[in-house]
Amino acid sequence: MRVTVTQENLHKALSVVSRVAGSKASLPVLGNILLKTENNRLVLAATNLEIAITQNIGAKVISEGSITIPARLLSDFIANLPKTNIDLRVEGVKLHIEANSYSSVINGLASDEFPSLPAIESLKKLTVDTSDFKRAISQTILCASNDDTRPVLTGVLCHCFEGALYMAATDGYRLAERKVVKTELEIHALVPASTLSEVARVIPEDCDSIEMTFDDDQVLYRIGDIELTSRLIEGKFPDYRQLIPNETEIHANLDRSDFVRITKIASLFAKESGGSVTISADSVKKILSIHSVASQLGENTSEANAEVDQDGTVSLNSRYLIDALGCFSDASIQFGFSGKLAPCVITDNKSNSEYKHIVMPLRS
C-alpha cells in the first residue's frame, strides 16, 4: 500500500477512531487501527468488539493495501507533524511515514488478524437532525446506570410510541424521556449509553443529519464519512412509563436559573446527608424554598419566586436535581410533585413538552 494524505485529514480521522481501540485489549490487534485503501480513499477503522468505527478520508492512492498500526503511537505521532502532505507506505508489517524532513517506521500487524467489521442491513432506517439528536443524547445518558450488575439499566431505550421515536434511560433513582423524531417504524432497541457518548463525541460541527439503522442485534450510525456500529444490550427494559405520573398535585413554575442557584447553595450544606434537601412550595408567599442541614457546618434555607398552586414538601437528592435542571435550556421550567413519596416531574412550560425528567423522592 502507498498513499498520500494531508496531515489535517489524517489527524482528524485518527482522533475519531483511536479512542475505540483499547490499550488494555485482550487481543493485541484490538489496540491497533486498521488502515486500508478502498474506492480510491483511505479507510481507518477500530473496534473493541462492542463498538466498531470507520472513517473514510480523501487520499492519493498509488497502490492498494492494508495494515494495522498501534493506535496511540500513530495518533500521537501524526498529531505532532506539521500541516503538510504525508506519504504512507506499507512494506510487510511495517508502515513507513514521511512528511517533509520527518521520517519514521512503525511496526504493525497484518490486517488479516483484524476482526471482521460488522455488517448491518435493515429496512429500519431513519434520519434525525444532528442538533436534536445530540440534545437527546445529553438529556438521557446521564440517567443511565453505571452498575454493570444490571446491564439493561446501563443503556438508553430507543423505541417507537404513538408515531414517534423516543429515547429513555433510568438508574432506578431518576428517569429521562425525550421525543426525538416522528416515524412510522417499529423500533425497540437498547443502546449502550457508552455508545451514544461516543456518537456525540465524533459528530463534526458541519454535520446536519444522522442516519440510524437498526436490526435485532446492532445499530449503525452514519455521520457523514463516519460509520459507528454497536451491539445492542440484551434484556427487557423496565416499563418506565408506569413511573411517569399522568398528573401531579402541586405545580411550581419558576425561573430555571433561580432554581439552579438555590439548589447549588443548598447542596453545600447537604453533603453530610447524602445530598438530601427539602423543597417546600408555598402558595401564599408564592415561593419555592430549599432547606438543608449539616450538623457540623450549620443549615441553609434559600428561596425563589414561583407560581405555586398548592403547598407541599418533598425531599430530593440535590445532585440529581442539579443534573436535571442542567438538561433544560428554557428560561423557566415547571416542577411538579404530589407529596413526599410520589415521583417529581420536571418539564419546560410548553404544553407539548418533548422532554420529561423524573426524580424519585428520598424518604425523610
pLDDT, tens digit, for every residue of 259-282? 999 999 999 998 877 889 999 999
Q: Residue 296 has what pLDDT?
A: 78
pLDDT mean over 155-182? 96
% of the chain at pLDDT higher than 90: 87
Q: Which stretch of DSSP H or E encloses residue 138?
A: helix 130-140
Quick one: pLDDT band at residue 224, thresholds 50, 70, 90?
Answer: very high
pTM of the model as a whole: 0.92
214, 251, 223: which is closest to 122 by C-alpha? 214
Question: Given a cut of 70, is residue 18 above it in pLDDT?
Answer: yes
Q: Which of 21-35, 66-80, 250-264 has the lowest mean pLDDT?
A: 21-35
Rounded to whole angstroms, how far apart are CA atoms 213 and 217? 11
pLDDT at position 119, please?
87
pLDDT digits (tens, 9 = 90+) for 54-76: 999 999 999 999 999 999 999 99
Evaluate if residue 258 carries a pLDDT over 90.
yes
Residue 23 pLDDT grade (very low, low, confident, very high; cuts 50, 70, 90): low
Report the mean per-residue pLDDT for the chain.
94
Residue 351: pLDDT above 70? no
The Cβ of residue 280 has, within 10 Å, a number of other Cβ atoms equal to 18
- Answer yes or no: is pLDDT of 138 > 80: yes
CA 69 to chain CA centroid, nearest Å: 28
Average pLDDT over residues 182-201: 96
CA 269 to mean position of chain CA atoms: 31
**pLDDT-wise least confident of 182-196, 223-237, 350-364:** 350-364
Residue 48 class from Cβ within 10 Å (0-12 exposed, 13-18 middle, 19+ buried)? middle
Other C-beta atoms within 10 Å of 23: how many? 9
pLDDT at residue 27, rounded to an integer: 85
Q: What is the DSSP letter of 109?
A: B
Residues facing 210 on adjacent strands: 128
229: pLDDT confidence band, cut at 50, 70 and 90? very high
Picking from 139-148, 251-260, 264-273, which range would have the lowest pLDDT averaged per residue? 264-273
Residues 53 and 184: their CA atoms lie apart, in Å, by 28
Quick one: DSSP state of residue 322?
Answer: H
The predicted structure's pLDDT at residue 251: 95
- State yes or no: pLDDT of 193 exceeds 90: yes
What does the pLDDT look like over 282-334, one tens digit per residue? 999 999 999 998 877 888 999 999 999 999 999 999 999 999 999 999 999 99
pLDDT given for residue 169 in this prediction: 98
Q: What is the mean pLDDT of residues 25-48?
A: 92
Domains, the chain, ordered by start: 2-113 (3.10.150.10), 124-241 (3.10.150.10), 244-359 (3.10.150.10)
